[in-house]
Amino acid sequence: MDFFQRAGKLAFGSYLRRLGEQMYQWSSEVYSLYELNLDVRYFPVFQSISWLEKPTVTEIAQYVGQTHAGVSQMLKELATQGYITLAKNSSDKRQTTITLTSKGKREQTRLNTLMQDLEGVMTNVFAECATSPLAALQDFERAMNGRNLVERIEERRKQTMTDSISIFPLARRGSKHRTEQLTGFRELNYAWIQEYFSVEESDKKALDHAEDYIVKRGGTILCAERQTAEGREILGCVALVPHDEQTVELAKMAVSKASRGQNVGFLLGEAALQKAREMSVARVYLESNTALKPAINLYYKLGFKRLANFISPYKRADIAMEMWL
């Protein structure tokens, strides 16, 4: 078993490259059999000149799926080698007229003979395969054009990271884990507030004295955590602070910079709303700032609606939202 057999799908691109290099070498040897001097790499562009009727550089580039700059450079090289001539179109100076020279036509004749033989050979090769290699590759290309490898990996990576996140309430009193959670709650919130605004007195009450200001009043703090080799990593936190018997405030939601884009905020929001239902309240309220667009979009996604009028202890608050459970 060689590397490519063991790696399978993981090395598909490298496998195609190896096969492509082999095919390039074989094609070069075949060109020699037919006394073709044309470099194999020019074939798609050179052949397009015959297959397309008076093509432009743009048309060839679109036809062979290469960049305009790349095709333009190849055409200049073919012209330098004497296979074609390039001239500005008399009726449209922006367009270039591409014409085969006598040398180019002789090369095309030899190439046509090769292609006739190659058609028969490749038909036999394809017949030896369980499925059509060309059709399979075309299907693969269509799939990748729909969503390319980078997009698919990003989506899978995000889902994998999301699956590794767990939401926990505060651990038992006096435990090391609870201390770490409260420290994370404090530090993550101070970090984002100082990044965008200024820390206010109401922030200090909630963050420096979370046990008294939130927990002892019947509220709760939830933490998004991931288990790592070094221990539990706190990715984000959110608090539910009671206002009255019917309302809790969703407050102090913070996500570490390194964890943004991993769905942490949404998971925290969903967990907080579920906790609010368990607390048997009818309404969840929050305040924010419209400059925090990702946060505002998240709240709308969770189902919150904007309030027209509100009074806030925070200077930075310019929007309030609510959800009736």
Exposure string over 300-316, b if 16+ CB within 10 A, otherwise e: eebebeeeeeeeeebeb
Residue 4 in tokens: 């490519």
The set of residues, in sequence order, having a beta carbon less than 8 Å from that of 247 and lying 6+ positions away, is 281, 282, 283, 284, 285
In this predicted structure, what is the pLDDT of residue 161? 85
Angle between helices 12-33 and 102-127 (to 10 degrees): 130
Domain span at 78: 34-146
pLDDT at 165 over 80: yes
Predicted TM-score of the model (pTM): 0.64
Q: How many domains does the chain have?
A: 2
Task: Sort 249 into a burial class: Cβ within 10 Å, 0-12 / 13-18 / 19+.
Answer: buried
If asked whether residues 244 and 131 sit together in one domain, one would say no
- Give the residues across from 86 on adjacent strands: 98
Rounded distance, CA 129 to CA 300, Å?
54
If asked whether residues 62 and 138 sit together in one domain, one would say yes
pLDDT at 1 over 80: no
If asked whether residues 105 and 213 sit together in one domain, one would say no
If asked whether residues 167 and 278 sit together in one domain, one would say yes
Give the mean pLDDT of 200-223: 96
pLDDT tens track for 110-139:
999 999 999 999 999 999 999 999 999 999
Give the CATH number of the domain where residue 299 resides.
Answer: 3.40.630.30
pLDDT at 304 over 70: yes
pLDDT at 94 over 80: no
Angle between helices 43-51 and 57-64 (to 10 degrees): 120
Rounded distance, CA 59 to CA 89, Å?
15
Token look-up 């930075």 returns: 316
In this predicted structure, what is the pLDDT of residue 158? 83
Between the alpha carbon of residue 267 and those of residues 123, 132, 262, the distances in Å are 55, 45, 10
If asked whether residues 231 and 276 sit together in one domain, one would say yes
Give the β-pairing of 165-169 and 283-288: unpaired
If asked whether residues 203 and 57 sit together in one domain, one would say no
- 120 compared with 94, residue with greater pLDDT: 120
If asked whether residues 135 and 43 sit together in one domain, one would say yes
Angle between helices 68-80 and 57-64 (to 10 degrees): 110
